[in-house]
Amino acid sequence: MTVDDEFWNQYVERVRERMLEYQYEQLEDSGCLDNFRIAAGDADGDFEGFWFADTDAYKWIEAASYVLTTADDPALERRVDEVISLIEAAQTEDGYLNTWIAIEYPGKRWTNLSIGHELYCAGHLIEAAVAHHRATGEDSLLDVARAFADLIDEVFGPDGRQGVPGHEEIELALVRLYRVTGEDRYLDLASFFVEGRGETLEYEFEDTEDRAGDEEMWDAIRGALFDDDEYDGTYAQDHAPIREQETVEGHSVRAMYYFAAAADIVLETGDRELYDQLQALWRNMTERRTYVTGGIGSTHHGERFTDDYDLPNRTSYAETCAAVGSVFWNHRMFQLSGDVQYPELVERTLYNGFLAGLSLDATEFFYANPLEVGPDGHALADENPDRFSNQRQGWFDCACCPPNAARLIASLGRYIYARATDEPAVYVNQFVGSEAALTIDDTDVRLRQESALPWAGDVTLTVDPAEPTDFALRVRVPEWCSDVTATVAGESRSVEPDDGYIEVAREWEDGDELTVTFGMAPERLVAHPAVDATRGNVALRRGPIVYCLEGVDHDRPLAQYAVPADAAIEASHRSDLLDGVTILEGEARVPDRGEWSDALYRRAAETERLTASFTAIPYYAWANRDPGEMRVWLETE
């Protein structure tokens, strides 16, 4: 599976060429690697960084492994091996591995599940190990991960400790470990953790002084998990067992990792009841609690989901990591169902809510992604200037987003195609130039995709079977598509999408081409009337790209631009702008400039309006020029 796409290549390459290098430097500079050296007894010093800093190294290895899957890069491989050596050295005899506990709280293992993140770190270790093993065939890190997983399996479980991690992550990692090792106990342990939530962490708050972590840490997590003096647990999805949860709640990254893991369990167990539950949660999220960009988590208070239809624009949190987590979950939901709605959301999230988290050169990041920044900058800048800025930052204290972004981009290939499990059919879910090697009914099939997305809707799939083979290609028809045409082996083909897919079933011969063209017109989207923040507004979209206005292209406050319902909106490609983007232009109505100097209220009829041009750029590309205002949702008239 190789990605080779005009749009995505730049990101894939930048992850390889710059981001991995840059993030590696951060591993050294932040003290993350030193923590391993100190824990191993090979260096002296204090623990540095956040208590879950180990995961920076693990996520870096995971992203690097995805790169190594398709690229021959001995220098990177060596560097990965060096980091693995540091990790190996820090592991104790019995398999335990966590530098924060080792350095700061030896003897206090597993005493702070609520926020100590030992299991969370273990999860990222396992994910890195599985990725490294799959990329290189080597067992070095996998052995480390298995030893730790075995220790965890000894400590936790139906007959052992009844704990769950305060931050989910190990659950989906354990399923991966199960898949690569075939050891049932890892799947059972994952299931134990998934099913074990429901006021499970409350007991830790009875004697926090005896537990790992200082008072400040405990106060913070108490504040998150308690509502007044009552244990509440929603922050960590610990308010109820998963089968009783009806709405997506709490810290959005935690929630995504959790539901992704639950979907993994269903994939292995076929538990329909759990799938139905996940589907209900997915509906709550997507029908009530998701930004038009695919971003989730409305508030920075606890990085949480809030209430139905509460989707403020200026204070939207929409954390980059939560977008990554949403892709993880949706990918698995598709695998469970074949439903088109999941890859739809993956596409929306990838091109918008996720990609906005990265600068064009993939070296600077947004932790939180507002949908609107006013003339005075980010509405929350006073609270945390780094996190709430109108400019991306090089790194964060809590550096979860950059490596998460790196591993998603490096693993982009896995979201493009899917094999149907029960019949000879291949789903084409994402339109990303790529080449895949498949085996269908024992025949090797190479499938090559060329895609003009996101700027044009032309997709060509070239099939190259070892011998002529019967199977179906199921090509997703995107929701943004205004019309679709297809030709198969040069012949035009009637297209009747069925459940969101065009199916072309035939005997494919060497070099057969399926060409699909999706109409791509500028569209105005509106939100449900219950969404206060967007009432009377429209968002512009063309193809999968959600647009925004940026201050640098306009000479008035953006709030003044009202897009009339009948305004023509023209798309044009600008290869010179923002590494090449298609922009949308049109005529907006703006208040007569002089008129509003003083009066706070006036008769509607007295408001004179002029016409002014607007230029919309892709939302993901904002904040790559002079900092200033930005708006996704625009007034209408």
Nearer to a copy of itself, 568 or 605 (CB): 605
Nearer to a copy of itself, 152 or 285 (CB): 285
- Cβ at position 289, least distance to a copy of itself in Å: 8
Tell me if 133 sits within 8 A of 68, measured CB to CB.
no
Per CB under 8 A, the list member of 154, 287, 386, 483 interacting with a copy of itself is 287
- Cβ at position 321, least distance to a copy of itself in Å: 22
Q: Indicate which residues carry an active-site annotation.
A: 303, 400
Tell me if 96 sits within 8 A of 151, measured CB to CB.
yes
Q: Is 107 in the site for a copy of itself (CB under 8 A)?
A: no
The SS3 of residue 341 is helix
Per CB under 8 A, the list member of 23, 286, 369, 404 interacting with a copy of itself is 286
Nearer to a copy of itself, 106 or 529 (CB): 529
Angle among Cα 73, 77, 83 to the nearest 5 degrees reads 150
Q: Is the peptide bond before 454 cis (omega within 30 degrees of 0)?
A: yes
Nearer to a copy of itself, 309 or 396 (CB): 309
| Token duo for residue 267 | 């994939």
Task: Measure the CA–CA gap between 545 and 84, rounded to whole angstroms.
Answer: 39
Enumerate the H helices of 210-340 as residue ranges: 215-225, 252-269, 272-288, 320-337
Nearer to a copy of itself, 385 or 529 (CB): 529
- Cβ at position 591, least distance to a copy of itself in Å: 6
Q: Is 288 in the site for a copy of itself (CB under 8 A)?
A: yes
Task: Measure the CA–CA gap between 417 and 413, rounded to whole angstroms.
Answer: 8
Which residues make Cβ contacts (< 8 Å) with residue 252, sequence separation at least 6? 296, 297, 303, 304, 305, 317, 319, 322, 325
Nearer to a copy of itself, 68 or 296 (CB): 296
Q: How many CA atoms lie within 13 A of 393 on its CB side?
A: 18
The identity of residue 430, as a single letter, is Q
The helix (H) or strand (E) run that includes residue 12 is helix 9-14
Q: Where are the beta strands (DSSP E) in 199-297?
A: 226-227, 230-231
- Cβ at position 564, least distance to a copy of itself in Å: 11
Task: State the chain's maximal CA–CA distance in angstroms.
Answer: 80
Among the residue ranges 141-149, 157-165, 279-287, 619-627, the one whose residues contact a copy of itself (CB under 8 A): 279-287
- Cβ at position 587, least distance to a copy of itself in Å: 17
Enumerate the H helices of 137-251 as residue ranges: 140-155, 170-181, 184-195, 215-225
- Cβ at position 584, least distance to a copy of itself in Å: 14
DSSP tag of 4: -
Q: Is 248 in the site for a copy of itself (CB under 8 A)?
A: no
Strand partners, 581: 574
Q: Where are the beta strands (DSSP E) in 143-263?
A: 226-227, 230-231
- Cβ at position 597, least distance to a copy of itself in Å: 9
Nearer to a copy of itself, 25 or 276 (CB): 276
Among the residue ranges 20-28, 210-218, 282-290, 410-418, the one whose residues contact a copy of itself (CB under 8 A): 282-290
Tell me if 342 sits within 8 A of 331, measured CB to CB.
yes
Q: Of residues 522-581, which lie at the interface with a copy of itself (CB under 8 A)? A: 523-532, 535-539, 557, 559-560, 562, 565
Among the residue ranges 72-80, 416-424, 507-515, 595-603, the one whose residues contact a copy of itself (CB under 8 A): 595-603
x/- map, 289-328, a copy of itself, by CB under 8 A: -x-x---------------------x--------------
Site residue total, a copy of itself (CB under 8 A): 40
- Cβ at position 173, least distance to a copy of itself in Å: 31
x/- map, 376-415, a copy of itself, by CB under 8 A: ----------------------------------------
Tell me if 426 sits within 8 A of 420, measured CB to CB.
yes
Q: Of residues 600-619, which lie at the interface with a copy of itself (CB under 8 A)? A: 600-605, 607
Tell me if 81 sits within 8 A of 136, measured CB to CB.
no
The SS3 of residue 185 is helix
Nearer to a copy of itself, 143 or 523 (CB): 523
The three-state (H, E, C) secondary structure of 444-458, written as one string: EEEEEEEECCCCCCE
- Which residues in this chain contact a copy of itself in the complex, by CB under 8 A? 283, 286-288, 290, 292, 314, 523-532, 535-539, 557, 559-560, 562, 565, 591, 596, 598-605, 607, 635-636
